[in-house]
Chain A
Amino acid sequence: MSTGTVATFEDSLERLEVGWTHASSDGLADVLEGLCSDPTIGVDLPYDGVDLPDWVNTDPTPADLREANAGVTAAGLGIADYGSVVVQGTPDGIEPVSLFGDLHVAVLRQSDIVPGMPEAFDWLGEEFRTGHSSAIIATGPSATADMGALVKGAHGPKEVHVVILDE
């Protein structure tokens, strides 16, 4: 991954009107604090030494999903050309947590950003063959044009924010 790839990723997010913020492991809590409002739910991040702040509810119930303003999860991959993040369904509930809140905050390691779909599918092929069971290529918030005009926020999040973890 080169700086060019990150810049392309950011350009794509810009085009999608998706916000992004760079953060260090230490700075993550502050960044999240600025983005999320209560109640925020989340799933523990799989990155060494990177923890979600205490105020993020990482053991949500269905009722919490229903009420959530924001859901914070890891994203396995960023796809620069499209501004997409790959959200992997896991037993600890990344899929519902990323789906039910009004805001989805995807936390992505900078090194996990790939240039385009060919690289993404090389990676996805490996993931699925080694037993992962779900990955959503998510690009921007949920949307619909079914009601006569484009509306952001259909069944899923109305807004997406990507936090790029610098290493």
Chain B
Amino acid sequence: MSKAREAKAAKIRQLMETEGDAVGTSTRGFNEGRYESVQTLDDYEGLKSEARAIKEDAIERLPELIDQLRETVESNGGTLYIADDAADANQYIREVCEDKEAERVVKSKSMTSEEIEVNEDLEAADIDVVETDLGEWVLQVADESPSHIVAPAIHKSREAIADLFNETFEPDEPLETAEELTMFAREQLGELIEGADVGMTGANFITADTGTMALVTSEGNARKTAVVPDTHVAVAGVEKVIPTVEDLRPFVELIGKSGTGQDITSYISLLTPPVESPTVDFDAPDTPLSATETDRDFHLVLIDNGRFDMREDDQLRETLYCIRCSACSNVCANFQHVGGHAFGGETYSGGIGTGWEAGVEGLDSAAEFNDLCTGCSRCTTACPVEIDIPWINTVVRDRVNRGEVSELDWLVEGLTPDEEPGGVSLQKRFFGNFETAAKVGSFFAPVSNWAAGLGVSRDIMERFLGIDARRELPAFQRETLKDWFESRTSRVDDPVRTAVLYPDVYTNHVQVERGKAAVRALEALGVDVIVPDVRSSGRAPLSQGMIATAEDHAHDVYAGLAEHIDDGRDIVVIEPSDLAMFQSEYEKFLPEKSFERISEASYEVMEYVFGLLEHGADAGALSAGAGEEIAYHSHCQQRTLGLEGHTEAVLSDLGYDVATSDVECCGMAGSFGYKSEYYELSVDVGSELQGQFQTDENRDRTVVASGTSCLEQLDSLLSRPTQHPIQLVAPRR
């Protein structure tokens, strides 16, 4: 393994050991909570679209809204400052504090303030800064960085926090329970808030019409921070401005549910500072509030720091719609296992962290963790503002690729007929051009291992391509699905429909049996099948960030299928990740009409079988289950497309007894699990699925899975054979 890969693997290994359990427990809890909580909404999808539309409009009109906001803030009696960058913001905030002769600033949680590192700046000016969010305070005491954008100390267990407090503060009675720790922190921080001179908060949203900011919190520290001292500084990115108070509503309903799975957080503070509430001057403890002279000062510091450039960037712009709810972190299988210390950059973590880091910090910081997004797409339906988070990760990967220089291109020479400029790493070029490798693989099979056939040993593959030697390589079949299909004649006399079975690269070269089974099953149901010679979908290069190559595939695939579609044939796809290309990613590559045509004409194979049966096809032509017990793992992208249920329904209707896994992802995710730096993480993520399929109830069940990767992962984790569901139901002839 190369040094860089070894170092990355070591860091991931260490974080999985030290922080993985704590992060996993909490994020999985948040994620489950989200599924439950969003069900309480009458129209969840509609609400998300509403939220999305508000953000799109607000970012579109941002300069105008900021002008309006400036007027409202000033007429309310506050000040609006637009800071170009972190240094500018810090200088302004420091001057406000120095004007007040502030000795202590109390803060409520704000990621934007982490981004500009205002604490360090103020402390350098001898101003004491106290984080009052309990999680942030723990980190301040421990001198650590946040591992999650909403629950910053998520990586620390209760025991670790107790040890930290007991060592640092040496309380009379050692602290132990969460309750004791909370009460201790509340008391310590309560005193610090009482003596504070300036309160600093973030702002989740700011409305241009009234200058009202919304703070989404639960602890009450933000309320105290805003009401006790007479000076309030709010720090937020420029993207937080939305038009009106009414526009807050979808966000208020969505943010807690999406994030920590709470219907709503304890407090949504809506403040139009300077507020009318009396200040609480603990230096004059016996002066009634009614006799306190309240003269509040308010500064809203909106930070650009790259955001206006993001706004101009057609690909990164969507990032600005993000409301930092953390759903995309919590739903992410990789994040659940390593947390934000691996899956994060300078400030931001999780799936969307890539977009933020690329925009505010630069590609280098984004490149650190961007590969941890496998494109499984589970976050896309979780995101309350419908951001295509995997796409942003792909775009950033593409940009990172273009900045890299590689000297060993000869190794993959001939295997990489791609559209990419020099600079894509060998590993990525290899996986991105998997179709070519597969052709070579089938050519050498079964006489010799394909790698050996190429004269490349596993050792070389590991050293130069970063393909982990512990991972079994796919067994390419000599006879491809296309070869097999061409050597036989169709057996359907009076077809009800004609279907084009898309020969994805795995089905064609590796999982050939599932392809044959699909042909048999469809023919048994009266469908005439064609297996055309069409190029691979472009999923492989896309997942390596090779966008130009993927786009090239898209055009070829469309060209190869267009006539079939025109002729009224259905496109049936076995590999869910390829179907997802046709139904999602191709939108980015094809003209709108073309995308609609291919998207509407294509079906996942079990979805198609489901449809045929619904339309009266004879289920008796398929293999009945007779109560056979099945453990089924759907594919991440298939679930995002909402197609898990079709397989379950077909299997149940045919008399199988189906138990379905509920993990977000198998951990393999295409090439991810092959890469030596991620192999162990991939296995760790897979262990959840492994566990679910090895319970007493499930251990004897027949294992079926829809995706190639999932099958490969399950093969390596279980000692039972695996197959695609179509193999189960296809007639055996």
Contacts and interface: CB of A to CB of B under 8 A. Distances in A.
Interface of A: 59-63, 65-66, 81-82, 84, 89-96, 99, 117-118, 120-122, 124-125, 128-129, 132-151, 153-157
B590 interface: no
A93 B278 contact: yes
Interface string B247-284: 01100110000001001111111111111111011101
A61 B177 CA distance: 33
A139 B151 CA distance: 19
Contact of A151 (B178, B189, B224): B178
20 contacts: A60-B289, A62-B287, A82-B264, A89-B277, A91-B278, A95-B227, A95-B277, A96-B277, A117-B253, A128-B272, A132-B272, A133-B275, A134-B277, A139-B266, A145-B26, A146-B134, A148-B156, A148-B157, A148-B161, A154-B221
B71 to A, nearest CB: 14
Contact of A61 (B26, B228, B246, B285): B285
A150 B194 CA distance: 25
Contacts of A92: 278, 289-290
B56 interface: no
B109 to A, nearest CB: 10
A155 B245 contact: no
B270 A135 contact: yes
A47 B67 CA distance: 39
Contact of A133 (B223, B265, B271, B287): B271
A62 B253 contact: no
B271 A84 contact: no
Of A59, A60, A95, A146, the most chain B CB neighbours within 10 A belong to A146
A135 to B, nearest CB: 5
Contacts of B177: 149
B248 A121 contact: yes
Nearest to A156: B220
A118 B246 CA distance: 8
Contacts of A118: 249
A88 to B, nearest CB: 9
B274 A133 contact: yes
A61 B287 contact: yes
Contact of B263 (A82, A91, A93, A132): A82
Interface stretch (B179-187, B330-338, B577-585): B179-187
A86 to B, nearest CB: 9
A34 to B, nearest CB: 25
A157 B228 CA distance: 16
Contacts of A132: 272, 276
B652 interface: no
B241 to A, nearest CB: 15
Contacts of B287: 61-62
A135 B181 CA distance: 30
A143 B218 contact: yes
Contact of A136 (B189, B260, B268, B282): B268
B421 to A, nearest CB: 47
A57 to B, nearest CB: 9
Nearest to B248: A121
A71 to B, nearest CB: 12
B161 A137 contact: no
B270 A134 contact: yes
Nearest to B219: A154
A131 to B, nearest CB: 9
B219 A155 contact: yes
A136 B182 CA distance: 23
Contact of A128 (B212, B266, B268, B289): B212
B219 A125 contact: no
Interface string B134-165: 11001000000000000101001111010000
B190 interface: yes
Contacts of B285: 61-63, 66
A43 B286 CA distance: 17
A61 B159 CA distance: 38
Given A117-B249, A149-B178, A61 B274 contact: no
A145 B148 CA distance: 13
Given A62-B285, A128-B245, A146 B135 contact: yes
A90 B134 contact: no
B223 A136 contact: yes
B179 A151 contact: yes
Contacts of B245: 121, 124-125, 128-129
A80 B224 CA distance: 26
B79 interface: no
B178 A89 contact: no
Interface of B: 26, 40, 76, 132-135, 138, 151, 153, 156-159, 161, 177-179, 181-183, 185-186, 189-190, 193-194, 207, 209-210, 212, 218-221, 223-224, 227-228, 244-246, 248-249, 252-253, 260, 263-278, 280-282, 284-290, 294
B134 A154 contact: yes
Contacts of A94: 277
Contact of B266 (A60, A65, A117, A142): A142
A97 to B, nearest CB: 8
A61 B276 contact: no
Given A59-B288, A60-B288, A61-B285, A147 B277 contact: no
B264 A137 contact: yes
B218 A142 contact: yes
A137 B25 CA distance: 29
Contacts of A155: 132, 186, 189-190, 193, 219-221, 223-224
A96 B190 CA distance: 13
Nearest to B253: A117
Contacts of A154: 134, 182, 186, 218-221
A25 to B, nearest CB: 25
Contact of B289 (A62, A82, A124, A145): A62
The 3 nearest A-B residue pairs measured at CB: A148-B158, A156-B220, A154-B219
A121 B223 contact: no
B24 to A, nearest CB: 14
A3 to B, nearest CB: 21
Contacts of B273: 133
A95 B244 CA distance: 24
Given A117-B253, A121-B249, A122-B246, A134 B264 contact: no
A144 B253 CA distance: 19
A133 B244 CA distance: 15
B275 A89 contact: yes
Contacts of A60: 288-289
Contacts of B272: 128, 132-134
B182 A144 contact: yes
Contact of A142 (B183, B219, B286): B219
Contacts of B266: 138-143, 156
Contacts of B253: 117
B182 A153 contact: yes
Contacts of A93: 277-278, 289-290
